[in-house]
Amino acid sequence: MSDNTTPPRPTALCPRCAHETIEHITGSPAPGVWEVLQCARCLYMWRTSEPARRTRRDAYPAEFMLTPEDIGAAPEVPAVPPLRGPEAGTATR
């Protein structure tokens, strides 16, 4: 350990929603190189060796950030619509 680079550190906050409960999912085969972490609230998952825009709240793109209100208001995953019958879908007019 003679390099002067900052080792990867787990973020204290979820990059996406700023939640403070971060789960350790797994780590690198060689210990200490990277970890995979997951937010307990929004389920965002990242590897600590990814760029800051994926791992740090202060660098995460604002358009992808979530607030608790966003999460509470998030719709369910849309269901796959039923298949169209043979007469319903006319591909050409």
Binding-site ranges for Zn ion (CB under 5 A): 14, 16-17, 19, 39, 41-42, 44
DSSP bridge partners of 27: 35
Nearest residue to 9 (alpha-carbon basis) of 41, 46, 62, 44: 46
Min. distance of Cβ 9 from Zn ion in angstroms?
17
Give the β-pairing of 22-27 and 45-47: unpaired
Give the single-character DSSP code of 63. Answer: G
Min. distance of Cβ 40 from Zn ion in angstroms?
8
Min. distance of Cβ 21 from Zn ion in angstroms?
9
| Of residues 41 and 54, the one with the C-beta less far from Zn ion | 41
